[in-house]
Amino acid sequence: MPAARLEVAGLTAGYGPTRIVQNISLAVPAGGRLAILGRNGMGKTTLLATLMGLTTLHGGSVRIDDADLTHHRTSARALQGVGYVPQTRDIFASLTVEENLAAGLKGRPRSALAEAYALFPRLAERRRHFGKQLSGGEQQMLAMARTLLGKPSLLLLDEPLEGLAPVICDELMGMITRLAGSGDVTVVLVEQQIERALDFANDVMVLERGRLAWQGASGELKQDRALVERLLGVGIH
């Protein structure tokens, strides 16, 4: 399916009665690239989890193209084309790389596994290795490849570069950029590596205590070092 348009209005959600993200609205055009930034504990992961239907919804709406997913289960959102790579990666440690990938096929033929190996040749070399035998970078590649095999039209990535060596970060961001450049998928990226996120995204939103603190073009934020320092507590080069 082609890249999807994402529209979120007045989203308030959390876990049980606790509200973590409050009154969040955003729109990402089909094929767009949005980076969600913010200090630790500001609600970024909760926002992505809410888009995937994994939290308690207290208000607002989520739409993918013309479909209202607000009250859909996680499985229904996945069938609608939402792909999610969580910060925890969630691979199956006791299954092989190939078995992990097969779990993401969603009814597609097993021959489609070749797509994952083309994206990440390293996984092809390790197809018989168990998930627990992989490095952190390889586990991230596996989690991403498994999600992409489902042909998502909207891809949610939660800190895909966390804890990885710079060379692996380069490899992963190169793949994500190529994928987004194809126009086949809309990407929403949560990432702590600010410069990489700003280089990748067209648009940026910054969360502070679960609320929208800033929203605009990535180039605008990148050029304003004082604003980056104030919003994120870090400098950029």
Domains of the chain, start order: 31-42+53-81+152-168+175-237 (3.40.50.300), 91-151 (no CATH)
Given its phi and psi angles, is residue 223 left (phi above 0), alpha (psi -120 to 50 degrees) or beta?
alpha
Reported confidence tier of residue 193, pLDDT bands at 50, 70, 90: very high
Owner of token pair 């092989």: 96
Residue pair 204/198 in contact (Cβ under 8 Å)? The answer is: yes
End-to-end CA distance of the chain: 38
Query: In angstroms, rounded to a whole number, what is the distance separating the alpha carbons of residues 60 and 155?
Result: 21
Give the model's pLDDT for residue 225.
85
Number of continuous H segments (helices) and E segments (strands) in the chain: 10, 10
Residues 10-26 have a mean pLDDT of: 97
Could you report the per-residue pLDDT of 74-95, keeping only the tens digit for each?
999 999 999 999 988 889 999 9
Give the model's pLDDT for residue 236.
55
Residues facing 7 on adjacent strands: 27, 63
